[in-house]
Structure 1
Amino acid sequence: MTQRRDFIKKSLIGSAGMAIGGMGFSAKSYGSIIGANERINVAIVGIRARGVSHINAWCEMKTSHNVRLKTLCDTDEQFFEARSKTVFEKTGIKPLTEWDMRKVLDDKEIDAVSFATPNHWHALGTIWACQAGKHVYVEKPASHNIWEGRKMIEASRKYNKRIQVGFQNRSIPNVMEAIKFLHDGGIGNIHMARGLCIKPRDSFGIAKDSTPPSTLHYDRWLGPAPHRAYNEKRGHYNWHWFWDTGNGDTGNQGPHQFDIARWGLNKNEHPVSVFSSGGIYGIDRTQCEQETPNTQITIAKYNDGKILEFETRGRYSNAESGLGIKIGNIFYGSDGYLEIDGDTWKAYRKQEKVPFAGSKVIGSTEVASLTGSNNTEHFVNFLDAIKSGKDETLHCDINEGHYSSAVPFLANISYRLGRELKFMGDYEKFANDPEADTMLSRRYRSPYVIPSEV
C-alpha cells in the first residue's frame, strides 16, 4: 500500500511533467495508461441529492479508470443503506459508510474526496482534505463566501493538491467549442454576457422547530454555521434558501451560468462594480420562511467596461432567445450574438435571423454519448490532473472556480445591502466600505473554524 501511494504522490506529482513530454503523451492519454494499472480510491462526502450523481459517475469509471468508490460519508445515516446498495449493484463492492468526515480523511488509502455537501461545508471540508493529503472534487459554488475561496486556493497550493470545482460545462465539448468560437472573434468584440436562471419554485412551507431525526448528526451538519434549533424546513435541500447555509438560486444554479459568462468574456479577474436588486415574489411570505430572493437582477462591470448581466426568475416566466433559453447564456458582440442552451449553441451575424454557426451535435442524448451517461468527463479530467500532478490540467481549477463563484457572492452582498458596490479585486476588498467587507467572510462556530493560515 505504501508503494502505491508513493507512486502516486512522488512519481506522478514529482516528475510526470517531463515524462509526459518525453514520451509524447498528452496528460489525458498518460492518465489513461496509469489508470489502467493504479487504482484511485475515492470517498464521497454528501450522498443525498447531487451526491447520487457523484456515486453514479465514480461507479461508471470503475473499469475504465480503475476507480474504487471506497467510502460514503454523510451526516444523515438514513441514506447509507440505499446508496450502499447502489454502489454494490454497480461495482460489486460494498462501500464503507461513515458519518464523521474526519475519520474518512484519516484513511490513508483514500486518494481523493468528492464533496456534494451543502455550500457552507465546501471550503472547510476541502481544506481539511488537502491537509490530510487528499485531492478534491467540490461542487459549485466553490465556497460559501469570497474569503473561503481564497483560503481554498492557498490550501491547494500549499499542500500540492488538485481541486476541481464542479462547473461541468467546462468539460462539455459543445460548450468548449462555443467559448473557443467567442475567443477567436466569432461575433467580434464581446461587450456583454447575459446569464439566465429561469427556474420556477413553489413555496416549501413552514414548520415548527423540533428534535432532529435520530439518523442525523445535527451539530456536524451545521458545522461552521451558527447554532440554531433544528427545523425540517431549513434542512435537506431547503438549506439553499437561507443565508447561513446557502446562497439562493443566484448562488445555486446561477454559478454555472456566471461561470460560462465570465469564461466567454475571457475575464480572469474580479469585476470592479456590482449592483443587484430583487426580492421574494409570488409566494405568501407568512407561509414560507425563505430568506434568499427568488427574483434577482445583477449587473457586474469589469475594468474595461464589459458587462456581465445575470437574472434569476423563481416564478412563472417565458424563456428567452431563439433557443428558448431558461437556463443558459447569451453573448453580445460587435458583429452579432451567440446563444448557449445546455449543450447547444448558435451564433447570429448582426441582425440576421438565421444562425451562421453553431453546434453540430444537439440534444442531451447525444451529449451523453460524448461525456458518459453520467457526464463523467469532468470527473475524468480531475483524475487526469491527479495523475499529471499539474493544476493546469484541470478544466476548472480552484482558482477558476473561485473567480466564477465570487461574482454571485458579490451580487448577494449588493442585494442584501441594497446598493451598488465598488470592489478592489487585487485585494478582494470593497472600496472604503467596511460594512460590505464584513460580508466577505463569516463568523465561524468552534470547532468548525477556517484558520487564517491553512
Structure 2
Amino acid sequence: MTKRREFLKKTAFSSAGITIGGLGFSAKSYASIIGSNERINLAQIGIRNQGTVHINNYCNLKDSHNVVLKVLCDTDEALFDSKSRIVADKTGTRPELEWDIRKVLENKEIDAVSMATPNHWHALGTVWACQAGKHVYVEKPASHNLWEGRKMVEAAQKTGLTVQVGLTNRAYNNVREAMQFLHEGGIGKLYMARALTYKLRNSYGTAKDSKPPANFHYDLWLGPAPYRPYNEKRSHYNWHWFWDTGNGDSGNTGTHQLDIARWGLQKHEHPETIYSMGGLYGFNQDECQPDNCTPGTMVYGDVETYGHDKSMQETPNIQTALFKYEDGTLLEYEARGRYTNQEGSDGREVGNLFYGSEGWLEIAGNSWRAFHQGESQPFASSKDSSSEQEATLFSNFIESIRSGNQKLLQCDMREGFYSSALPLLANISYRVKRELKFMGDYEKFANDSEADTLLSRIYREPYSIPIPL
C-alpha cells in the first residue's frame, strides 16, 4: 500500500500544472488516492491558544480516524517544547518541529494542514497549501479581507481539495436541529436575526517598540502585513485588535454568531446594504503614572489586561452593524466589550436571536428555545445533549478528506467565505463612517472608491497571493 501511494503521489506531482508562489515546485491534488483506511499525516500551522485546541482535537482522533500529527509549525519556537509534549503524551510520538510554513508545504508526506495562525495569514497559507496539494482546515474568519477570501474559494474549487472553515457551531447537533426547525417554518417567515457578542474586555495596555524575543521569527510572522517595528501589544493574541493583522471582536467571536444568523436566514449571498458604527469606550485616554497603573491580570491568550488604563487597541470594543438583504431581510450584529445587561429569555451574552411572523427563537451555545408570538414559555426547545459524544468539525474534516466527498463538509470554503465576509464588510463601514451599498455579484461597493480600497490590501513581498492561481 505504501509503495502504491508513493507511486500515485509522484505521478500526481509530475503531471501538475499549479505553481506555488515562492515555493519553487509544482503540485496537484491527490485527495482521491487516500484510501478508507490509510493514515492521514497532518501538520498543525500555528500552535498557540486556538492552535492548542486543534492539537488536542487531532490527538483525540489518532485511533478512531487514523490521524498522525506529524509536524507542528509556528514562528515562535518558544512554544515548541510544551506543545510537542502534548502530542507525545497523548499519542506516544513526538512531532517534527518547524518554524517556516514553506518548508512544511514542501514536505510530500503531509496530506493536510490545519491553520490556526493570526487572521492575516489565513488566506496566503490556505492558497499556498492548496497549490502544494494539501487539504486545509482554516480558522475563522476565513480571511483578513474580502478579496483574498474569494481567492481562497477559487483555490479550493480549482484544486478540488477539501477546505474546511472552522465555524464550529456547524457541527453541533442541537444547532443543526435549530436550523432545521427555522427552515421548516417553526416560527413562521423569518424577517430578522440578531448576532450577539457581549464579552467584557479590559484594556490590553500600551508598550514601546522593542526587539522581538529570541527564536521568534518576526518577519515571517508579519508575512503579508505591512512592516512595523515589533511591539508586544501588537503581537501574540493582541494582534486581534489591530487592522493590519486582525478584525476586532466582530471578526473574532462575532464570526461564529454571524455565521449562525446567516445560516438561519438561508442567505447564500452578500447583503445589499451595510451600516456599522461604534468606537473604543470605557478606557482612560491618558497614560497612567507609576503610582496609579492598574496591576496586570492574565487573561485568555496568555496576555495581561489593565482595567481602564489607556490601550493601543485600534478596533472598536463597542460596535453595532445592520445588514439588509435584497429581499429586505435584516441581520443585526452587536458587540459590547464593557459592562452590560444580557438579552434573551434567560440572559444571553454570546448567541443568536431569530424573529419570525409567528414568534422568536434563541440559541446560546448548544441549546435553543422557541417562543410562540408573545408567550413567555417556550413551545419547543433542544434536548439535553450533555451526555452525548458529538462529532466535531475536525472529525468531519478528516472524514471528508478520506471519502473524497466535498458534500460531506459541514462548513466548506464557500460557506465560510460568505459568513466571514459579514464582519469584514461591517468593519469597512465602521472605518469609512457611512452606510454602504454593496454589489454582491461584483464584490464591489457602489460608487465608493474609498471603501473599495479596504476590500483588499497591499501585500508585502514575498508574501502575496499568487495571481493567477
Same fold (TM over 0.5): yes
- Aligned residue type for 2:5: R
Give the equivalent residue in structure 1 for 2:130.
130
Give the equivalent residue in structure 2 for 1:86.
86
Give the equivalent residue in structure 1 for 2:399.
384
* Contact preservation (8 Å) 1:275, 1:414: yes
Give the equivalent residue in structure 2 for 1:370.
389
5+ residue gaps, structure 2, are: 13-31, 287-309
* Contact preservation (8 Å) 1:345, 1:358: yes
Give the equivalent residue in structure 1 for 2:372.
349
- Aligned residue type for 1:397: D
* Higher helix proportion: 1
Measured in 2, the distance between the counterparts of 1:381 and 1:121 equals: 23
Give the equivalent residue in structure 2 for 1:266.
266
Give the equivalent residue in structure 2 for 1:420.
435
* Contact preservation (8 Å) 1:136, 1:162: yes
Equivalent pairs counted in the alignment come to 425
* Contact preservation (8 Å) 1:8, 1:387: no
Q: Paired residue for 1:395, among 385, 402, 410?
A: 410
Is it true that 1:449 corresponds to 2:450 in the alignment?
A: no
Measured in 1, the distance between the counterparts of 2:466 and 2:43 equals: 24
Give the equivalent residue in structure 1 for 2:355.
332
1:341 Cα offset (Å): 0.2
1:335 Cα offset (Å): 0.4
Q: Give % identity.
A: 61
- Aligned residue type for 1:370: Q
Is it true that 1:210 corresponds to 2:210 in the alignment?
A: yes
1:6 Cα offset (Å): 6.4
Task: Go from structure 1 to structure 2 and tell me whether the alpha carbon gap of 1:252 and 1:6 turns closer, same or farther (over 3 Å shift).
Answer: farther
Task: Go from structure 1 to structure 2 and tell me whether the alpha carbon gap of 1:2 and 1:103 turns closer, same or farther (over 3 Å shift).
Answer: farther
1:393 Cα offset (Å): 1.5
Secondary structure in 1 aligned to 2:250? coil
Give the equivalent residue in structure 2 for 1:361.
384
Measured in 1, the distance between the counterparts of 2:164 and 2:91 equals: 24
Secondary structure in 1 aligned to 2:249? coil
- 1:293-304 matches, within 5 Å, as 293-304=316-327
Alpha-carbon deviations, 1:67-115, whole Å to 9, x = none? 0000000000000000011100000010000000011111111111000
- Aligned residue type for 2:131: Q
- 1:104-123 matches, within 5 Å, as 104-123=104-123
1:34 Cα offset (Å): 5.3
Measured in 2, the distance between the counterparts of 1:228 and 1:2 equals: 48
TM-score, length basis structure 2? 0.88
Measured in 1, the distance between the counterparts of 2:359 and 2:264 equals: 14
5+ residue gaps, structure 1, are: 12-30
- Aligned residue type for 1:100: D
1:305 Cα offset (Å): 0.2
- 1:229-240 matches, within 5 Å, as 229-240=229-240
1:8 Cα offset (Å): 8.9
Give the equivalent residue in structure 1 for 2:4.
3
Is it true that 1:320 corresponds to 2:335 in the alignment?
A: no
Measured in 2, the distance between the counterparts of 1:99 and 1:128 equals: 16
Deviation beyond 4 Å, 4+ runs, structure 1: 5-11
Task: Go from structure 1 to structure 2 and tell me whether the alpha carbon gap of 1:322 and 1:9 turns closer, same or farther (over 3 Å shift).
Answer: farther
- Aligned residue type for 2:421: A
1:10 Cα offset (Å): 10
Measured in 2, the distance between the counterparts of 1:301 and 1:10 equals: 49
Give the equivalent residue in structure 1 for 2:249.
249
1:448 Cα offset (Å): 0.2
Secondary structure in 2 aligned to 1:351? coil
Task: Go from structure 1 to structure 2 and tell me whether the alpha carbon gap of 1:7 and 1:451 turns closer, same or farther (over 3 Å shift).
Answer: closer
TM-score, length basis structure 1? 0.91
1:2 Cα offset (Å): 5.0
